[in-house]
Chains A and B, each alone.
Chain A
Amino acid sequence: MNRRHRPFVAEILTAIGLLVAPFVLRWLGVPPNTINPILIFGLLGIGFDLLFGFTGLLSFGQSAFFGSGGMVAAYVLTRTSMDNTLVALLVAAVASGVIGYLVGLVALRRTGIYFAMITVAIAEVFFFAEFNPLAHWTGGENGLPGVPTPNLRLGFTTIEFTTNEQMYWFFGACYFIGIVLALRIVRSPVGLILRAIRDNPLRASALGHNIHGYKLAVFIVAAIYTGIAGGLLGMMQGFMPPDAFKFETSGEIVMQTAIGGAGTLFGPLLGAAVWIYLSDLFKITLNLGAMWKLILGIVFVLLVMFLRRGIAGGLVDLWGLAAARLLPPRPARSGVEDAAAPPPAVLLPRARRGSGVGGPADEAPRTGTILRASDLSKRYGGIIANRNIDFEVDYGEIRGIIGPNGAGKSTFFKMLTCEVAPSSGTITFEGNDITGRDVSDVCQLGLTKSYQINQLFERLTVRQNLEIAALGVLRGTFRLDLLGSMSGVEGLDGHVAGTAALVNLTPRLDTAVSELAYGEKRRLEIGLALATAPSLLLLDEPLAGMSPGERVDTVALLKSIAKGRTMIIIDHDMDSLFELVNRVTVLQEGSILVEGTPDEIRADRRVQEAYLGGIEGESA
């Protein structure tokens, strides 16, 4: 896999690039005062890319942090006796982090367009606050002049970076640290969970992750990056401009990232380079003052329309095409090692974390009731979806649920997994009352579901999908090891390999989900649920949308999984379902009609009537 095969390639290339850039650019005749702002915008773009490219949160309000960080750093350096620029940057980082936390609390209450609108509105408040109520501290529309150039106090000596050339090394070092940390974050378990949130927040949450916590965390990280970049801006210009707070600043960050390529970390640097180069070209060389922004706007619109992943994304695609052409039998990107590796031990982790509650294949299988629903009802407005359901499943049982359309099966499942809160009644799982709990908590307790319609992380590989599910079990709902490594998660590889083997996806581990056939996606859907090592697994129409051949395979698969597990299955394909289950519960019109073994159910007259609708009931 990438992370093991090419350690630090990106880091080393970045370092080399930063080291040679000034010489190459000087040779090209690009002045250093062009390159320094590129680094600053590249740095804040890293944070923004973590937020937008990796987590899918499009904020139009980054100017709030850019301005605040810059003003705080400038204030420290110009109005206090502190003249150590690193300390000022540290203070700016803390301040923007705190502001990011507070803003995030409000903005992250909503997603999508609401999130975008709220961030715009909040950033505007910062703009107005800077100009008026806080003008005493920020200098209002004059900004804060007299910000010193960067310095480095090493104790025994002090390095001053006074010229543009000297400052380049300071900013370059900041960018390098920024990119190294961001690469660590992206490769960490948290980084993978962030991508899970981007692709399918509902499923990420259903796999036991506290997505709100992670979103808030990445929002704060982005704010800190942006705030530090703001601090650098003041040092570069010798004064902190109030313009940093403008909506246009937020817009520039968004545009540069989209031009360069979101989700690449380096895209924003590329975008900033294009942006600043074009602006200089038009303004200075071609003397076309106002036109440059129009041209950039048009370029931006065209990129969004046709090159969705920006320049960096386009380059990656080109590279992929070229590589495919040059190296025809391209080794799976994951590398040879996996293929050569000994077959993985087909074992799922047996003990669940924390509570030590026995898992499905535990040495001493538990007996008794695993799940009890008492007097469960659900009303939507005036419609009653479920009415007074009493339902119990024992450890080791395979239960089927059937019922005609509109019998309330799906609602019932959603209540069991706490996706939907019941109107009345209680649900007890392994002795815990889980009524009204959060879906991620319930997954952590060992109850999870595979969905009727695939809920996968489409832009990731099969391995990453399974890792996301396994991380929920192995790390709990929330853990902020932003700089941890995937290989540091104990048991992850075995867990993923074991699950993949169970659902017959081992050869496809490094294939992108979008390339899978439907049957494979369906197996992965079940695999995601299995990878959480559930003590009770709910399957919502596992056979839905399958061809007859796929049905046979999947039934065989479910039989093999069923050994030693507790499962509840809804499906319409009764022949297949009755082959799998020990007992069947029949729902009709929101209530339990009857419960029994498959043979009893087949013979039951009421069930026949429910399904055939009283064929003798009326004649024309």
Chain B
Amino acid sequence: MSLLEVSGLNSFYGDSHVLFDVDLHVGRNEVVALLGRNGAGKSTTLKSLMGVVRPRSGHVRLDGAEIAGQPAHEIARLGMQLVHEERRIFGSLNVEENIILAGLTAPNRWPLERIYTMFPRLKERRESRGTDLSGGEQQMLAVARALVRDPKIVLLDEPFEGLAPVIVQDLMRTCRELAQAGQTIVLVEQNIAAALSLSDRVYIINNGHIAHEATPAELREAPEILQRYLGV
């Protein structure tokens, strides 16, 4: 059985129907990428999984437990974490407070030192308030906040967006280490090269539907598929 199984998921923003009968599954220790153009419904998929957007219908099973329709804090306790595209760092809290806050209700929690080993930069800036961090530091902190809860599955929404290439390289390395350590990840990313290099499997979303499923290798072989769904 897969760690995450999604079937017939429909989501709306107000009246606007955004996701249409989305089916997908993510195995344990797997890294799955969701690709698609802007507005295709990738972020909404992640938010619906996390319970930040409440799906109108469909099933989401995490490690066997039905989580569709549950409030976000329950889903978080069951072991899911979403790193939002906008990072949503608490600006009035300092780095360490952000991390501690995230870990407060976690059943298993990473020791702070493990976080700081992974992100030495955060250790240096542990006293700085969230508002004073650079974009890259904020992104590291957002990921750290998710990891401190030792989640079964992490959803990353465009983690590399708007970051300098050096920092993207850094974060890519971190993600790869995590994957090698067996962390299950769902990744939404516009940077297709990065997404393909990190993932084991790819779903392509188009206008709120799952349009295609493939491995990175298959997609490299058949760039016309990428062209069709993602290109111009």
Do A620 and B17 form a contact, CB below 8 Å, given A573-B207, A601-B232?
no
A404 contacts B38, C-beta separation under 8 Å = yes
B15 contacts A454, C-beta separation under 8 Å = yes
Taking a contact as CB atoms closer than 8 A, the residue among A546, A572, A607, A608 that contacts B38 in the complex is A572
- Min Cβ gap A57→B in Å is 25
Give A379-434 interface residues, CB cut-off 8 Å to B: 402, 404-406
B193 contacts A548, C-beta separation under 8 Å = no
Please report the total number of A residues contacting B with Cβ < 8 Å.
34
A614 contacts B15, C-beta separation under 8 Å = no
A608 contacts B232, C-beta separation under 8 Å = yes
Interface residue? B18 (CB, 8 A): yes
Give B189-222 interface residues, CB cut-off 8 Å to A: 190-194, 196-198, 207
Measured CA separation A573–B40 after assembly (Å): 9
Taking a contact as CB atoms closer than 8 A, the residue among B15, B37, B194 that contacts A521 in the complex is B15
B15 contacts A518, C-beta separation under 8 Å = yes
Taking a contact as CB atoms closer than 8 A, the residue among B16, B18, B190, B207 that contacts A404 in the complex is B190
Chain A residue nearest to B206 (CB atoms) is A573
B230 contacts A612, C-beta separation under 8 Å = yes
Measured CA separation A404–B20 after assembly (Å): 23
Give A483-538 interface residues, CB cut-off 8 Å to B: 517-518, 521
- Min Cβ gap A546→B in Å is 8
A547 contacts B192, C-beta separation under 8 Å = no
B39 contacts A615, C-beta separation under 8 Å = no
Instruction: Provide the residues of chain B in CB contact with A547, threshold 8 Å.
Output: 17, 20
Q: Categorize the interface residue count of chain B.
A: 20 to 34
Do A620 and B197 form a contact, CB below 8 Å, given A541-B39, A574-B232?
yes
Instruction: Provide the residues of chain B in CB contact with A453, threshold 8 Å.
Output: 13-14, 16
Instruction: Provide the residues of chain A in CB contact with B14, threshold 8 Å.
Output: 453-454
- Min Cβ gap A620→B in Å is 4
Interface residue? A545 (CB, 8 A): yes
- Min Cβ gap B175→A in Å is 12
Measured CA separation A608–B232 after assembly (Å): 6
Taking a contact as CB atoms closer than 8 A, the residue among A544, A573, A612, A617 that contacts B231 in the complex is A612
Give B146-164 interface residues, CB cut-off 8 Å to A: 158, 161-162
Instruction: Provide the residues of chain A in CB contact with B192, threshold 8 Å.
Output: 612-613, 615
Instruction: Provide the residues of chain A in CB contact with B223, threshold 8 Å.
Output: 615
Interface residue? A337 (CB, 8 A): no
- Min Cβ gap B20→A in Å is 7
A611 contacts B39, C-beta separation under 8 Å = no
Interface residue? B24 (CB, 8 A): no
Interface string of B6-20 (1 = CB under 8 A from A): 000000011111101
Interface residue? A602 (CB, 8 A): yes
B37 contacts A615, C-beta separation under 8 Å = no
Interface residue? A355 (CB, 8 A): no
Chain A residue nearest to B209 (CB atoms) is A548
Taking a contact as CB atoms closer than 8 A, the residue among B40, B162, B193, B198 that contacts A613 in the complex is B193
Interface residue? B22 (CB, 8 A): no
Instruction: Provide the residues of chain A in CB contact with B198, threshold 8 Å.
Output: 620
- Min Cβ gap A556→B in Å is 17
A406 contacts B161, C-beta separation under 8 Å = yes
B191 contacts A613, C-beta separation under 8 Å = yes
Give A282-301 interface residues, CB cut-off 8 Å to B: none
B232 contacts A406, C-beta separation under 8 Å = no
Instruction: Provide the residues of chain B in CB contact with A601, threshold 8 Å.
Output: 232
Interface residue? A579 (CB, 8 A): no
B196 contacts A405, C-beta separation under 8 Å = no
Taking a contact as CB atoms closer than 8 A, the residue among A406, A608, A611 that contacts B162 in the complex is A406
Interface residue? B226 (CB, 8 A): yes
Instruction: Provide the residues of chain A in CB contact with B194, threshold 8 Å.
Output: 613, 618
Give A593-618 interface residues, CB cut-off 8 Å to B: 601-602, 604, 607-608, 611-618
Give B1-37 interface residues, CB cut-off 8 Å to A: 13-18, 20, 37
Instruction: Provide the residues of chain B in CB contact with A611, threshold 8 Å.
Output: 37, 230-232
Taking a contact as CB atoms closer than 8 A, the residue among B15, B16, B158, B196 that contacts A615 in the complex is B196
Taking a contact as CB atoms closer than 8 A, the residue among B20, B197, B207 that contacts A618 in the complex is B197
Give B58-91 interface residues, CB cut-off 8 Å to A: none
B226 contacts A544, C-beta separation under 8 Å = no
- Min Cβ gap A471→B in Å is 26
- Min Cβ gap B87→A in Å is 13
Interface residue? A619 (CB, 8 A): yes
Beyond the given pairs A545-B16, A546-B17, 8 more chain A to chain B contacts, judged by CB atoms under 8 angstroms and listed by A's residue number, are A404-B190, A406-B162, A454-B16, A548-B207, A602-B232, A611-B232, A612-B230, A615-B223
Question: Can you identify 9 A-B contacts, CB atoms within 8 angstroms?
Answer: A404-B38, A453-B14, A517-B15, A545-B15, A572-B39, A601-B232, A608-B231, A611-B232, A615-B196
